[in-house]
Amino acid sequence: MPHAEVSLPGAPSSVPTARRFVESILTSWGRPETGWTAALLVSELSANCTLHARTDFTVRLELHEEQVRLQVTDGSLRAPAVRDYGTTATTGRGLRLVAQLAHDWGVDLHEDGKTVWALLRRQQTAPGETDEEDLDVDALLAVFGDDEPGDDTVIRRAA
């Protein structure tokens, strides 16, 4: 089973490094269609490491026949939890996004930390490349609540 991993310091500057690592590995494996989603997920998970775990972390990718397993391991024993913050909160939506975009995801606790993992199916595509009939916009919007946008908010839907 092909795999690749990188260990990074628990600093905000590691988030774009993790994202570039994931995109470049998936491209080299011939899975660029999974790259956008995987980069978004690793951004969320590695940002959680820098904000909450505050430890070094490791990003690992495993290539399986029909899916990619993305893992982020840190040194914190505190399990992540899906939060329900108000609409004006600037954090707290990352795991909801992971749950929405990944085929499956979870957390494995270890005696020296945890691993948050996500499975991405081969057919994952970037915005604008998904057939409109495959996109469940109502389900995605339901994850973030029913609040109406303010007058200064512009909502665009990819054609």
Q: What is the pLDDT of residue 150?
A: 44
Whether 138 maps to a domain, the answer reads: no
Mean pLDDT, the chain, rounded, equals 80
In whole angstroms, give the CA distance from residue 23 to residue 93: 22
- Asked if residue 39 is part of any domain, the answer here is yes
Displacement of CA 67 from its chain's centroid (Å): 15
What SS3 string covers 17-36? HHHHHHHHHHHHCCCHHHHH
- Assess if residue 25 is contained within a domain: yes
Quote the pLDDT of residue 97.
Answer: 85
**Is 154 within the bounds of a domain?**
no
Residue 156 included in any domain: no
Confidence of residue 136 (pLDDT cuts 50, 70, 90): low
The answer to whether position 159 is within a domain reads no
Host domain of residue 89: 3-125
- If one counts the domains in the chain, the total is 1
Question: Which residue did the predictor score with more confidence, 124 or 83?
Answer: 83
What confidence score (pLDDT) does residue 88 get? 62
Looking at the domain assignment, is residue 83 inside a domain? yes
**What does pTM read for this prediction?**
0.72
What average pLDDT does this structure show over 27-38?
Answer: 92
pLDDT for position 79: 80
Q: Residue 94: give its domain's CATH number.
A: 3.30.565.10
Instruction: Let me know if residue 51 belongs to a domain.
Output: yes
